[in-house]
Amino acid sequence: MTNPTNDLETAAHPEGLRRVAIDPVSRVEGHGKVTLLLDENDRVHQVRLHIVEFRGFEKFVQGRPYWEAPVMVQRLCGICPVSHHIAASKAMDMIVGATLTPTAEKVRRLMHYGQILQSHALHFFHLSSPDLLFGFDSDVARRNIAGIAAAYPEIAKQGVLLRKFGQEAIRITAGKRIHGTGSIPGGVNKNVSAEERDYLLKDIGQVMAWSREAVGIARRLFEQNLDLYNNFARFDAHTLNLVRADGALDLYHGGLRARDLSGNTLFDHYDYRHYWDVIFEDVKPWSYMKFPFLRSLGPDQGWYRVGPLTRVTQCDFIPTPLAEQARKEFLAFNGGSAARATLGFHWARMIEMLHAAETMEELLHDSDLQGADLVSSGKRQARGVGVIEAPRGTLIHHYKVDEHDQIVRCNLIVSTTHNNQAMNEAIRSVARQYIDGRKLTEGLLNHIEVAIRAFDPCLSCATHALGKMPLQVELLDAAAERIDVLARASDGTFCAD
Amino acid sequence: MTAPILFFAVGNESRGDDALAPLLVRGLNGWSKAEGLAKRLELLEDYQLQVEHITDLVGRDAVLFIDADFSCTEPYDFSEIFAAKDESYTSHAVNPAALLHAYRRVYGADSPPAFLLRIRGHDFGLGDPLSERAAANLDHATRLAVELCKSASLDYWRGLTKG
């Protein structure tokens, strides 16, 4: 079994082709750029998603004492700092030789599922809903958060309050709204008081109800646009995800499972502390972001997809009743078509949001959250690996610590990096379906962005300084001379240079 | 009880001059307590503004957003801002005026009066320290923020804005 060919990655004869760049990709976290090479007949010869910014964070943490890592790595990303906080903490658990107490693990789980809930809510209600509710070709002036708030005020409000609830769970478990210190090597530094528990329980029923409604919205989008949703940006991929020992969906801990295009298991319950034996990272000269692959299949064929769509379709079951029912309906929908569709990411993401809400409710009724046994330790180790399923997919933190307690090596494989090749495949599929042979329009280019946004990529840029986010489409000749440019102004209108 | 004045700093301290706003409110923290302002003034910070931050605006008499800026005049720009529909394609972050607009949409009422203090930054590289020029701008901006803390009068605040 082989992955689809990587055609459209590199043009056979790039000379003389026109280059179109979508720079930066909008409504994704950080800065990305898509380039297309077109000939004089608008036929597409090359499509690439470039990551513009070089993260450099792995160097940044070298030389720091290991106990600082769970706090420092939160600065990696303004959107999912908690995921890095927890993954680094898990790695440091290994360093200090700890086996977590029940209270420590459950407090961390509450924090993590709060992060899942708020991140998924943001993505669905505010980043993707403009495309999904108005259409990919709709008026660009409506296709934004404000447009949603105007046309669907209740949905916008639910998105705000779901996200706020997740943030409150994070504040309570991490100790602060940002720069949380709740998770530490070997455990946590605070429990959840009865008062804090009751504060979250007060709203959990509403959060569950809204999450169920969101699953329904995602389903209706498929039902109303079956052909589009089934086929948009479609491609087949190997998969990688964590599963619990019994095969259940578990976003905090488990073993690695990889499956091929036909669903055959390549490895299962693999101990992630030795992930490098099954996953390797390739580099390509045209992108800063690495291209991970399954070692057994090699760099060309071994790329894979991670994230909500993979997790929901590749786990054996979801261990909360409402989300499990939703998963079964998702898998059964139209003969399983949604589970194979790139836009199935959105539906799967809402099933996970419902699962997060259910899990949080279970945890809030667990008296271990009020326990006093917070930290453990054991035999000191030199190497620590922490893996979780973050909102966007599998997240790997790997550290080596010397005898002076300093971090001497760090390797991070973030969810978006796992999906690097998969995102490239998705946009090449769109290019073949919608762009090849046609005159470019903003609506057509937005199709590419819709495909990227389905993955909810986080391209690592917590810098947000004002005045930085224009969208520019450049047309260059073969000598890379700019011959035309189209810019999206801050008011959403397009203007020529 | 909700403090009537909110200073909301936005920035990531690991990104060079992006630390300007967080550093400003942290600098004010001890001072405001010593001055007995803690009940009147709340200091918050986050990496970037997001839609749920509208819930932090509820019940305030005035809000000051503080952020580093690539392009404003030296050392800072201080202005009153109003709800504005953000038509732009954005990343996960929203701008302050768009946040006020979201407030109006969600709560069905105008947000509290809001102001924006943009502090000029220059270098935003990962792991960079605050640049010398930004540090000088921070001193100027802090002096303005202290002035604002001393009076809750909107007229006084408006008198300090440019234009």
ipTM score: 0.78
Full pLDDT tens readout for chain A, 497 residues: 444 445 788 887 777 777 777 665 554 445 567 888 888 888 888 888 876 555 577 888 889 999 999 998 887 766 788 999 999 999 999 999 999 999 999 999 999 999 999 999 988 887 777 777 777 766 666 666 566 666 777 887 888 899 999 999 999 999 988 878 899 999 999 999 999 999 999 999 999 999 999 999 999 989 988 999 999 999 999 999 999 999 999 999 999 999 999 999 999 999 999 999 999 988 877 777 788 999 999 999 999 999 999 999 999 999 999 999 999 999 999 999 999 999 999 999 999 999 999 999 999 999 999 999 999 999 999 999 999 999 999 999 999 999 999 999 999 888 888 998 999 999 899 988 888 888 878 777 788 888 888 888 776 433 333 433 333 445 455 555 554 554 444 344 444 44
How much is the pLDDT for A495? 45
Render A49-102 in DSSP notation, one character per residue.
Answer: EEE-S---HHHHTTTSBGGGHHHHGGGG-SS-HHHHHHHHHHHHHHHTT----H
Q: Which of B12, B54, B93 sits opposite A160 (nearest CB)?
A: B54
Contact by Cβ (8 Å): A62, A410? yes
Asked whether the beta carbons of A44 and A432 are under 8 A apart, the reply is yes
How many contacts (CB atoms, under 8 Å) link A and B?
149
Minimum-distance CB partner of B46 among A145, A178, A490: A178
What pLDDT does residue B82 have? Answer: 95
pLDDT cut 70: percent of chain B above it: 94
Residues of B in contact with A141 (CB under 8 A): 87
Per-residue model confidence (pLDDT) at position B127: 76
Q: List A471's β-bridge partners, or say none.
A: A488
Q: What is the pLDDT of residue A417?
A: 87
Query: Which one of A167, A466, A491 has the shortest CB-CB distance to B95?
Result: A466
Q: Which residue from B minimizes the CA distance to A146?
A: B85
Q: Cα–Cα distance between A13 and A335 in angstroms, integer?
A: 41
CA distance B69 to chain A (A): 5
In the numeric block, which tokens belong to residue A142?
A: 């409506």
Find out whether the peptide bond into A24 is cis, omega within 30 degrees of 0. Answer: yes
Enumerate residues 462 to 491 of chain A having a beta carbon within 8 A of any beta carbon in chain B.
462-469, 471, 488-491
What are the chain A neighbours of B109 within 8 Å (beta carbons)? none
- pLDDT tens digits, residue range B47-88? 888 888 999 999 999 999 999 998 899 999 999 999 987 654
Q: What part of A 6-65 touches B (C-beta under 8 Å)?
A: 24, 26-30, 55-57, 60
Q: From the CA of B85, how many Å to the nearest CA of chain A?
A: 6
Question: How far is the CA of A489 from the CAs of A34, A493, B117, B143, in angstroms?
Answer: 19, 5, 23, 34
**How close, in Å, is residue A432 to chain B by CA atoms?**
25
Cross-chain residue pair B102–A160, CB shorter than 8 Å: yes
Tell me the nearest-neighbour CA distance from B115 into chain A, angstroms: 15
pLDDT reported for residue A30: 54
| Contact flag B88-A492 (C-beta cutoff 8 Å) | yes
Please give the backbone phi and psi of residue B41, each rounded to the nearest 5 degrees, phi first: -130, 125
Asked if residue A452 lies in contact with residue A49, where contact means CB atoms within 8 angstroms, the answer is: yes
- Of all residues in chain A, the one with the smallest CA distance to B128 is A60
Question: 């720009």: which residue's tokens?
Answer: B77
Closest Cβ–Cβ partner in A55, A126, A146 for B85? A146
Strands, DSSP E only, in A61-220?
A: 183-184, 187-188
Q: Do B106 and A150 touch (CB under 8 A)?
A: no
* Residue-level pLDDT at A43: 87
Please list, in sequence order, all residues whose beta carbon lies within 8 angstroms of the beta carbon of residue A254, skipping any fewer than 6 positions away: A242, A243, A244, A245, A269
